Amino acid sequence: MSVPAAFTGVVVIWATTPLAIKWSSEDAGFLFGVASRMVLGVFVCLVLVALMSRRMRWHRDALLTYVAAGTGVWGAMTLVYWSAQHIPSGLISVLFGLSPILTGAMAALWLGERALTLPRLSGIGLSIAGLAVIFGHGIELGAAAVNGMAAVMVAVSIHSASSVWVKRIGAGLHPLETTTGALLIAVPLFSMTWALLDGELPGHLGARTAWSIVYLAVFGSTLGFALYYYVLRQVEASRVALITLVTPVLALFLGHYVDGEPLGMQTWAGTAAILAGLACFQWGERWGWLPARISQAGPGETAGD
């Protein structure tokens, strides 16, 4: 597969995922929507593992990786599905655009990767300002919207912490192995959560709900990750970061024009600030308009320590 085609595929899948999440819970509870998606997703992954003649590894680091990734998927996706009932799908994508910043900050603190330079701190500041604008808009929409946004931010934090944990383990597994192992851990957790908190099968699934679940299982949970890791191996990580700049805007347009979700000036202003912050965080050191480092302190230290 050509790299541009794979890149385009990731952008399309990630931009359409929030709206599909919203639709997948229309005729059923959100817990049924996410649990059924993950059950179908792990089945697709196991089929791909068999077709590719790959062997799942079960040594200690592999098991730890599956637990780290799987619990992250369970915690983050449960909150995202819940929040999709209360906020526009486009906002979910915008808020999840903060994941590279949170992941980078956590990696700097816990893994000693790339200190928090002045451009990176400036990017974090811009993103926080954009987040404040969006939350201010959420207050106008009501308490449910604020709670939904807060839930997404907790989901982003869980996702970022899970990513750093997986990297810290450093098991060196194939992406398909990691995805399959993560879902093998996550599926029982999703199933138990659904059984304890809901436990009711939907009496009727409309076509849009059913196809959304299938789409998320095949594309969102399996193909999207496979294409993403393929692109990550082929091009510079800085170029891959463009995905997180493009998908929120596309998701906002899709939610507005396909599902009639409102788009106000505050939403656009907050989104612009978050994306500008993400760009500054990723590429600010290359632009040269701020000094590269504010100190030579190591992770968790300050210049005066």
Are residues 202 and 27 in contact, defined by beta-carbon separation less than 8 angstroms? yes
- Measured CA to CA in angstroms, residue 173 lies from 35, 73, 223 at distances of 25, 17, 17
- Give the contacts of 13 (CB within 8 A, at least 6 positions apart): 219, 220, 223, 224, 227
- Compute the C-alpha angle 236/51/37, nearest 5°: 75
Helix axes 60-83, 89-96, angle to 10 degrees: 140
Q: Is 199 helix (H, G, I), strand (E, B) or coil?
A: coil
Please give the span between the terminal C-alpha atoms of the chain, in angstroms, as a whole number: 51
Q: What does the DSSP assignment read for 30-62?
A: HHHHHHHHHHHHHHHHHHHHHHTT-----SHHH
pLDDT for the residue 303: 38
Q: What one-character-per-residue DSSP string does 66-120 give?
A: HHHHHHHHHHHHHHHHHHTTTS-HHHHHHHHTTHHHHHHHHHHHHT--S---HHH
Task: Give this prediction's pTM.
Answer: 0.84
Going by C-alpha positions, the residue among 225, 160, 229 that lies closest to residue 17 is 225
Unique residue bearing structure tokens 């451009």? 119
∠ CA 303-289-237, nearest 5°, is: 85
- pLDDT tens for the chain, 305 residues: list them: 677 888 888 889 988 999 999 999 888 889 999 999 999 999 999 999 999 888 899 999 999 999 999 999 999 999 999 999 998 888 898 888 888 888 888 888 887 776 677 877 787 788 888 878 877 766 667 788 889 999 999 999 998 899 889 888 888 888 888 889 999 999 999 999 999 998 888 878 889 999 999 999 999 888 887 787 777 667 655 566 667 778 888 888 888 888 888 777 877 888 888 888 878 877 776 666 555 444 333 334 433 33
Give the C-alpha separation, 158 to 156, whole Å: 5
Could you give the CA distance from residue 125 to residue 102 in angstroms, rounded to a whole number?
Answer: 12
C-alpha distance from residue 142 to each of 78, 86, 87 (Å): 22, 10, 10
Going by C-alpha positions, the residue among 267, 268, 278, 249 that lies closest to residue 126 is 278
DSSP state of 25: T
